[in-house]
Chains A and B, each alone.
Chain A
Amino acid sequence: MSSLVIEMPAEGIAPTYAERLAALRGEKMAQTQEKWAVIGAMDYDDWALILPPPDAREVIQTISASGVPIVDVKMKGFAAESNHPNGDFFGPVAFGRNFRRLLEMHPVYIDPNSSLAGGYMVNFGSYRKSGWNPDFDYSHLHAAQRLYKLHTGIGGAQHFCHDLQIGLDLGWRGLLDKIAYYRTVNTDAKAQEFYDGLTDVVLGMQSWIGRTADAAAARAETEADPFQAANLREIAAINRRLVTEPPQTFREACQWMLWYQSAARMYNGSGALGRLDVLLQPYYERETAAGTLTDEEAIFHIACLLVRATDYIQLGGPDETGRDVTTPLSYLILEAGHRLKIPANIGVCVGETTDEGLLRRGLEVMFEDKTGIPKFLGVDNTVEGFARNGYPLELSRQRAYAGCHWLALPGREYTFNDMVKINFAVVFDVALRDMLADSSVQPSVAELWRRFEFHLRRAIDTLAQGFDFHIRHMHDVAPELVLDLLCYGPIERARDASSGGVDYYNCCVDGAALANAADSFAACEQRIEREGRLTWAELLAHLDADWAGPEGERVRLMMRSVPRFGSGGSLSDDHAQRLADLFTRLVKERRTPDGHQMVPGLFSWAMTIMMGKDAGATPDGRHAGAPIAQGANPMPGFRKDGAPTALAAAVAAVQPGYGNTAPMQLDLDPGLTRDEGGLEKVAGLIRGHFALGGTQINLNVMDKEKVLEANRDPSKYPDLVVRVTGFSAYFASLSPEFRQMVVDRLIAEG
């Protein structure tokens, strides 16, 4: 047990947890508004980053890794040391050293209302100049990567899940000891460099935590409010211990996780948390049994963690034996998210054996808060699907929800999740032009399918080679030093997780624009082949002209009016099914040249806009550059009634089925639950989707009027939270284009 003595304030009335939570929310809102003012639009999940104080920050214009101009914030007075002629830094020694230097000068952040200290202020990646070390050349892949406009994942960081249990067991000193021990086992120079890097990360963390403890103690001395002074003294004592020791109490465990998650986020953007209810359960059990922790206090500590770490969490779901792990603590975590009403990323497992009450409570929260939280995880299908890759069910059940649409085995699996995308609309376009340029064949839908298959296979082969290339070199480019600490193998083998350090390599390959390609196939079949209303050459001319002119518009409407994927039993539904089957078969038909598995999924993340810009006009009547369909979803407006069951059946029908997801993006009217039994109907919808094979549901219950109003004037509802896709975010944080995407969905679904 903790050696802490809880001090009772001498006089006055202690603030309630609710009051402290309100203050935390207010603080977060102020910080977010400051970020809007300084950084502008943020089209990603709400990172808990706090801006450095004005005198300690530099604001710079730069180009993001994906080529978009962005505003970035750096710490004044910190420059990374380069170890490469191009001025950048690469490899474990330089990464470890620079990260440690950054941590050692990182300002301390303490909110006296919180039970936990710490907050990060910059992204380490801002100090990198290039995504990849030019010494490792992959120009032989460029032609195909560009032709298909692939998102290759080469140089992409994190997007797999560590196991916090390792850290909770060892603490920072334990991690140092472990590194020191394996230094004596793996003695080659490369191993020593890797250990240097890891050691620097831990030393940097110890500095940051230790300075925070000192600062809390100092602030306690001058704090006039006796409650805050007592809280600051506790924070000081807890963090003093955590510099070296593993956490002993529930609160300490939350604090330890907050430090680690902050470091992981700062280092390279990792936002994976995994099974928080399982991780915290032993502390919760012990302390509630001893009467030293109330549920209200537990909720408060969790909320203090979530407000500063908006990371991805799984609640419930099977243990290795298949037994559901839902506990009262799972409900408390959900409750913490409910009380905060900030963008949080909590997923609730729904399956044959999961807790019905948790689903129900999740839906209540969903309809009450309208923040798109929680999301729902079709755990039976992802478990069975993952096993199909040749893994035992016991292993498969350990895979945890840890990112936008993805799962990973905590500490054991490297995945490239959500970084690798094939845009089917682009592949379709390449195939169509290829066919029409070949005067030796009679164009037909059958021929188009043959060409599509050829190009899709080539695109996947290109990705496969890219995976191998990345896995061979990432260690020497941008190693995963923070996540390595909490994985099984990297320290033991002296290998970075990206490059052989862990046991399992399952390279995620996501398809996108399934609906656009399927609808395009169907439109060609219906209007060109069956009805002869149009020739292939005319189609091509209209595509090249982006449907210009009155005749172009008429033809566009004609192509668009062919029943869409999702309408049910249509040609487009058949083509969608065929496309999903083909994609799955091609991804699974072989491994990468180096022997790594690939796993198919369907998800475009928030890139429906960006990937749409990559694609010219498509025969489904889509204009050049317009957004593609979201993930596995049909195009908005796919049916006049927008029936959620039609959507759910369509998305369930195109699941690749190997454990990676093809989420359904579903927007429901808040009025649905006004009638008696409304919530049960939504539960039925969710269960029905999973019964048909669905893997994940991003549910959004949006107040249409409010969202439309907020779109006109975002400042009107600064705290409006919406689910964008796999993540939720402040509506006002999004760029106008992203806000429009959310609004379009609402309008299309009437």
Chain B
Amino acid sequence: MDTNSSVSGVIFDIQRFSIHDGPGIRTTVFLKGCSLHCFWCHNPEGIRVKPEIRYDPARCINCGACVAVCTNGAHAIDAQGRHTYDRTKCLSCGLCVEECFTEALVLTGKTQTAEQVVAEVLRDRAFYETSGGGMTLSGGDPALQPAFSAEILARCKAEGLHTAIETAGNYPWANLAGLLPHIDLVMMDIKQMDAQRHRAATGVSNVRVLATAERLAVETDKPLLFRVPVVPGVNDADADIAAIAAHVRRLSQARRTAGRRAPITLELLAFHRLASQKYQSLGLDYRAANLEPPTEQRMRELRAIVADYLATD
């Protein structure tokens, strides 16, 4: 096959023993950069493309090592001997991180070649084989770094791994089309059927998202798993979930009409607040801080609605 060892991209994590992102034991590669700005995002470090510094003052021992290396003056030790960090002066070069051994400073996002990424992914090959697992590209949205994603996926396929992608769907179809030949499972978010409310929650309309969903359903025969992060006020009313479930049922029917067989399923995931510390360390405002995660009971009720729609499918 054609592989290009110089294709590189920006990732912010590679998580081994990932067990909620597709079948079996998986390694999930998180690519940086997303075109949506969901205010509750569980991976805020995945939103922007460029590397960022995460700073956790609780870990800082005020040693001053970072001050000495930053040529932009982002770090300082104040009169009381306390360390301060001015994010506005930072260019994310990462030099200070190399000197900070307490991990008060951490660089989120690094440029890697597809080859490097796949070498890391292959470390757990034995476990993919014994569990029916593989590699998942997540993010951010991996379809926004199409050449990099295609290269990782192609290399994984060439190694015989099961591949999956998690995507938000908000891009021209071509971004995804180039990846599809190397993908076994597509997981895609649908957050809200109403375009206005979608924009209010994520910053963009859902038109392209739904177009991507449509084409995935009708023009491909990839197994499709639609996922809904259930977020209070955004989509946690019965009607919100029912609308999404009804849409997924239509897509499913359309796929069959087109003579295709691969399953289309819908899964609900509960919003949680575990990301709050990440927002702080990135210097971001966490607008979901006061949202109450849906209760187990509420999730069961909503899942029952989904089951109703998909059962009559």
Contacts and interface: CB of A to CB of B under 8 A. Distances in A.
Contacts of A680: 24, 131-132
B123 A681 contact: no
Query: What's the interface size class on B, roughly?
Result: 20 to 34
B16 A684 contact: no
Interface in B284-312: none
A641 interface: yes
Q: Of B124, B129, B133, which is in contact with the most chain A CB atoms at under 10 Å from its CB?
A: B124
B300 to A, nearest CB: 13
Given A569-B123, A685-B25, A645 B130 contact: no
A688 B101 contact: no
A641 B103 contact: no
B46 to A, nearest CB: 16
B154 to A, nearest CB: 22
Contacts, number: 82
A473 interface: no
B25 A645 contact: yes
B16 A681 contact: no
Interface string A270-282: 0000000000000
B23 interface: yes
A568 B25 contact: no
B17 A646 contact: yes
A76 interface: no
B142 to A, nearest CB: 19
A558 B123 CA distance: 27
A560 B101 contact: yes
A643 B131 contact: no
B173 to A, nearest CB: 32
A554 B24 contact: no
Nearest to B123: A568
A303 to B, nearest CB: 33
A83 to B, nearest CB: 58
Contacts of A645: 16-17, 25, 123-124, 127
B120 A672 contact: no
A392 interface: no
A678 B20 CA distance: 9
Nearest to A559: B101
Contacts of A677: 23-24
Contact of B61 (A554, A643, A687): A554
Interface string A540-579: 0000000000100110011011000000110000000000
B42 to A, nearest CB: 15
B131 A683 contact: yes
Interface string B38-68: 0000000000000000000000010101000
B15 interface: yes
B131 A684 contact: yes
Nearest to A650: B123
Interface residues of A, number: 29
A648 B127 contact: yes
B16 A641 contact: yes
B189 to A, nearest CB: 18
B19 A649 contact: no
B126 interface: yes
Nearest to B14: A641
Contact of A688 (B19, B119, B120, B126): B126
A681 B63 contact: no
A691 interface: yes
A677 B23 CA distance: 8
Nearest to B119: A569
B313 to A, nearest CB: 19
A644 interface: yes
Contacts of B280: none
A567 to B, nearest CB: 10
A445 interface: no
B130 A554 contact: no
Q: Which 4 A-B pairs have the closest CB atoms?
A: A684-B131, A643-B16, A688-B127, A687-B130
16 contacts: A550-B61, A550-B63, A553-B61, A568-B120, A569-B120, A641-B17, A643-B15, A645-B16, A672-B19, A678-B19, A681-B131, A684-B130, A688-B126, A688-B130, A688-B131, A691-B126
Given A560-B101, A568-B16, 8 more contacts: A569-B123, A646-B17, A646-B123, A675-B20, A678-B19, A684-B130, A685-B131, A691-B126
Interface of B: 15-17, 19-20, 23-25, 61, 63, 65, 101-103, 119-120, 123-124, 126-127, 129-133
